[in-house]
Chain A
Amino acid sequence: MFKDSSLNTEKLVESKPGEERIKIVQKIALETQKLTKKFGGLIAVNNFDLKVNRGEISSLIGPNGAGKTTVFNVITGLYQGDGGKVIFKGEDLAGKKPHRIIAKGIARTFQNIRLFSNMTCLENVMAGQHCRSKEGTWSSIFRTSYQKKEESEIRKIAKRLLQRVGLWKFGDELAKNIAYGNQRMLEIARALASNPDLLILDEPSSGLNDKESEDLMKFLKSLLKENLTILLIEHHMNVVMGISDWVTVMDEGKKIAEGVPEDIYHNPLVIEAYLGKEEEEEEEI
């Protein structure tokens, strides 16, 4: 039914005016259409259209309370939207349960890290593979050979992921006992464990020092090579500008601008939204 506006829709995008008209074929990984979310009288997200191109890093920025996290929560099913569509792989995901949405291929992290604190780092990443494994209660109770095989597969994948994010040495530590920066990476590893097509990160670099956040951005770039699409919320303008292929700006629940980073950087509406509201922030605009 929604096939026409799917990932498979190939949009013909023209390059910048003035240049030779080269036609690039792009594919949209995720699209929201007229997404709306109300909290009582407050319209946190208002007819919001977002599009994320496949194989790119897209960013969603905006001042505090703009509604960015709420958009993520509606996309991942934690909140029930009050209207609009979330189109992913040709399907409207609006209203689906979170565990279904991650099974479809959208994995996320949280603004305030949400790990399974009293479980080990290894277990956290193993849990991330839940939707990609299937052994049930009886096969677990009797420890069938299939179950053992799947379990050892889960462990190996978890190990590989921990090694990639440089946390293998903490594999047997409880998640709550590792450093803050490492917890952020662990949460990303857990999200990656579900083998997603789209990874959405809510302020991944908040609380990280410059070195850590630089490493993180390098890591995210490296993920792109593996057929992954990334959507992130960021507060630090310089981070966003350095890494994003596409930026969407929202304020008071509405989209106020979108485009490539350079355009956004000079967009007067964006400057006003940031400067007008966030005198206390240290954004270099």
Chain B
Amino acid sequence: MKPNKNIILKNWPIFIVIIILSVSPFRMNNYWIDVFFFFGIYALLGLSLNIVLGEVGLFDLGHMGFMAIGAYTTAILNTHFGIPIIFLMPVSALAAAGFAWLVCSPIIHLRGDYLCIVTIGMGEIVRLTLINNPFGITGGPNGVFGIDFLSFGGPLVIDSSIESYFVIWIVVGLTILALINLQRSRIGRAWNCIREDEIAAESTGIDVRYYKLLAFVLGAGLAGIAGNIYASKLMIVSPESFSFIESCMLFCIVLIGGMGSIPGIIIGSAAVSLFPEIFRAFARYRMLIFGAAMVIMMVFRPGGIWPRKRGSVEFKSLLTKAGEDNV
């Protein structure tokens, strides 16, 4: 029995998706590659919001605020001080995470809709602050432009559509691996317990406050990375990219896909980023179709398109070990 072969056999749908994703850009024109790039950005943002909303059940409708912090950190430090984008990736993540820690610490005890309203406020404050051009560094409504491409040094500069496509999808891939590992750990369990029953979680020994903050900080950090990649791809960042409606879109991605379900999030971000392109003719009715889809979803599939399946892996591993124990 070769373990490697087994992994591929068991997870064949995943490998097919990976193969399709790595081959398809060579058969698409630049326009569609860019569409898939934004699909990747939405996927990364959806995964980051999924930590907060999907895993812990915290209503965060200001998530684009964290991405904005990451994008502007990259933009400002790059254009003013010429720091390479690659170094700014962790810096943006830390800036967004630190910001999340600062603003969420005092509000983390709020529940449900209260938290929701405060996060809307937070996202809007970030956006309005950027428009107001504090200290003349954010460029007001025009934003910051002239941001460098991502460069790995020497000739390795990410300046074509296909290259940025691979950058974003590799980052998405790594993020998925990290999140799967988290889901299978006591951290992920603690998050889910809080979502299920906060009081029981607290009484079971879970430091609810800590784990909620952790979710916000990690989610914001990932959104910060998305902001960094976004800024260097577009070479410009401006406040209107981080509007409230975008935060709502992310919310929809998680709800449509399925709370806490990674494949669901990918499907959800595809729905948000690809469908408007496919159905260009209906562009005017985009929001209408979207709203209708949400309502239908909530009625017929409240768990999302691809709800998370629980357990089995862990349970099966115990069953096989039990066999060994009994010998």
Binding site for B on A (CB under 8 A): 76, 78, 97-99, 102-103, 108, 110, 114-120, 122-123, 126-133, 135-137, 140-143, 147, 150-151, 154-156, 159, 171-172, 174, 190, 194
Residue of B nearest to A130 (CB): B205
Nearest opposing residue in chain A for B316, CB measure: A172
Identify A140's interface contact among B187, B196, B200, B314, CB under 8 A: B187
Contact present for A114 and B322 (CB under 8 Å): no
In the complex, residue of chain B having the shortest beta-carbon distance to the beta carbon of A190: B204
Q: Which residue of A lies closest to B207 (CB)?
A: A99
| Smallest beta-carbon distance B176→chain A, Å | 12
- The minimal Cβ–Cβ distance linking B58 to chain A, given in whole angstroms, is 16
Chain A min CB distance to B71 (Å): 24
Given contacts A98-B205, A127-B204, 8 further A-B contacts (CB under 8 A): A99-B207, A102-B205, A116-B193, A119-B310, A122-B311, A123-B192, A127-B189, A151-B185
Contact status A194-B311, CB under 8 Å: no
Residue of A nearest to B312 (CB): A172
Which of A110, A119, A130, A171 lies in contact with B186, CB distance below 8 A? Answer: A130
Are B187 and A155 neighbours in the complex by a CB distance under 8 Å? no
Main secondary structure of the interface of B (DSSP, over half): helix
Do B200 and A123 touch (CB < 8 A)?
no
10 pairs, A vs B, C-beta closer than 8 Å: A99-B206, A110-B203, A114-B203, A127-B189, A140-B185, A140-B187, A141-B182, A155-B314, A171-B311, A171-B315
Which residues from chain A contact B322 at a C-beta distance below 8 Å?
A: 159
A267 to chain B, nearest CB (A): 33
Q: Are B199 and A114 in contact (CB under 8 A)?
A: yes
B202 contacts A154, CB within 8 Å? no
Across the interface, which residues of A come within 8 angstroms of B207, CB to CB? 97, 99
Decide: A154 near B310, CB < 8 A? Known: A99-B202, A190-B204. no
Whether B317 sits at the interface, judged by CB under 8 Å, is: yes
B315 touches A110 (CB 8 A): no
Docked CA distance A136–B187 (Å): 7
Closest to A108 in B: B203
Q: Are A103 and B205 in contact (CB under 8 A)?
A: yes
A140/B218 contact (C-beta < 8 A), A120-B311, A172-B311, A172-B312 known: no
